[in-house]
Amino acid sequence: MSERSPSSFWRESAPLILASRSAGRRQALLHSGVPFESIPADVDERAIESRLEGGGADAIASALARAKALAISAPGRLVLGADQAASCEGRIFGKPADRREAEALLRFLSGRRHRLHSAIALVRDSAVIFETVGIADLTMRGLSDAFIAAYLTAMGDGALTSAGAYQIEALGAQLFSKVEGDHWTIMGLPLLALLEALRREGALLS
């Protein structure tokens, strides 16, 4: 999918490749004037997570972002990979595998404060030229079993596409009592850090 927002700021001859199907990431790039193509990467996320078990949420999110960007790497093109992990009281969570896992995760996070780790990796010619992890802290309000069931029914498979089983730009906003951190980071794309990296690379007008 190609989404070329008209931008006099973009200096590359071809748009950025986004190795993700995330609506939140596409929206952030579109609104910031970065033209891009969305080509989701097919990587075994569970295998990568299992190899890094015990390595921490930053390491897991970063490894997933790198793997996705490198999987889509094309000669001369800038490719952006991104992923998230959530951590709470010593536990690390990625995307839930199914509704049952999503339900258990929301029950655990209910009434607790957790940290969201949003990693990005920028690749050109199969080499990582920039990577970072953005952090946000979110406090989930106390959730009733009835609310969790209604939320998961309304979200459908969408609850399985994000760490923590939520998309804050959608119904996930109803889950929280307090959010501390950058909105773009919560949506899965530390945008300001990315834009600065693109300017350093000469891809954006300074």
pLDDT tens-digit series, residues 31-85: 999 999 999 998 888 888 888 777 799 999 999 999 999 999 999 999 999 999 9
Active site residue 83: yes
Structure tokens at 102: 């999503």
Asked if residue 175 lies in contact with residue 152, where contact means CB atoms within 8 angstroms, the answer is no
Distance of alpha carbon 192 from alpha carbon 190, whole angstroms: 6
Give the DSSP letter of residue 141. Answer: P
pLDDT tens-digit series, residues 108-153: 999 999 999 999 999 999 999 999 999 999 999 999 999 999 999 9
Q: What is the DSSP string of 101-121?
A: HHHHHHHHHTT-EEEEEEEEE
User: What domains sit in the chain, N to C, each tagged with a CATH number?
Assistant: 2-200 (3.90.950.10)
Distance of alpha carbon 111 from alpha carbon 185, whole angstroms: 22
Distance of alpha carbon 193 from alpha carbon 206, whole angstroms: 14
The catalytic position among 58, 83, 157, 182 is: 83
Structure tokens at 36: 């891009």
| Percentage of residues of the chain with pLDDT beyond 70 | 97
Give the DSSP letter of residue 204. Answer: B
